[in-house]
Amino acid sequence: METKAKIEIISRKAINPFSPTSPQCRNLKFSLLDQIVPPRYTSIILFYTANTNQNIDSSSTAHSEISNSLQKSLSKTLVHFYPFAGRLKDNTCIECSDEGAYFIEARINCQLSEFIKEPDPNFLSHLLPTSDPKGAELVGRVVLLIQLTVFKCGGTAVSVCASHKIADASSMCEFIKSWAAMARDHDEVVHPEFIGASMMRPTTDPSIEGRLEAPGESFVTKRFVFDVSKLANLKAKIGSGVPQLVPTNVELVSAIFLRCAIAACQSTTGCLKPSLLYQTVNLRTRMVPPVPEAAIGNLIWGFPVVVEEASKMEVGDIVVKMRKGLIDFCNEKANRFKGEDGYSFVFESFKVGESLKMGMNMYFCSSWCKFPFYEVDFGWGKPTWITCPMYSMNAITLMDTKRGERIEAWVTLEKQEMAMFETNEELLAFASINPSLIT
Where does 184-227 have alpha helices with state H? 196-199
What's the rounded mean pLDDT across residues 147-158? 94
Asked whether residue 392 carries a pLDDT value surpassing 50, the answer given is: yes
* Residue with the larger pLDDT of the pair 271 and 4: 271
Asked whether residue 149 carries a pLDDT value surpassing 80, the answer given is: yes
Asked whether residue 281 carries a pLDDT value surpassing 80, the answer given is: yes
Q: Given this model, what pLDDT does residue 42 score?
A: 94
292 vs 195: CA distance, rounded Å: 10
Q: Given this model, what pLDDT does residue 2 score?
A: 47
* Residue with the larger pLDDT of the pair 145 and 313: 145
| pLDDT class of 54 with cuts at 50, 70, 90 | very low
* Residue with the larger pLDDT of the pair 187 and 161: 161
Domains of the chain: 7-207 (3.30.559.10), 214-370+390-433 (3.30.559.10)
Instruction: Report the Cα 77 to chain-centroid distance in Å.
Output: 21
- What type of residue sits at position 70? L
Share of the chain above pLDDT 70, in %: 93
304 vs 274: CA distance, rounded Å: 12
Write the pLDDT tens digit of every residue in 234-250: 998 887 777 778 899 99
What mean pLDDT, rounded, does the chain reach?
A: 89
What's the rounded mean pLDDT across residues 78-94? 95
pLDDT-wise least confident of 84-88, 120-124, 132-136: 120-124
Distances (CA, A) of 290 to 26, 283, 354: 28, 8, 29
Decide if 377 is catalytic: yes
107 vs 123: CA distance, rounded Å: 14
Angle at 149 between CA 438 and CA 135, to 5 degrees: 130
Decide if 34 is catalytic: no
80, 164, 168, 400: the active-site residue: 164
Q: Given this model, what pLDDT does residue 53 score?
A: 52
| pLDDT class of 298 with cuts at 50, 70, 90 | very high
57, 120, 227, 377: the active-site residue: 377
From its phi and psi, is residue 370 left (phi > 0), alpha (psi between -120 and 50) or beta? Answer: left
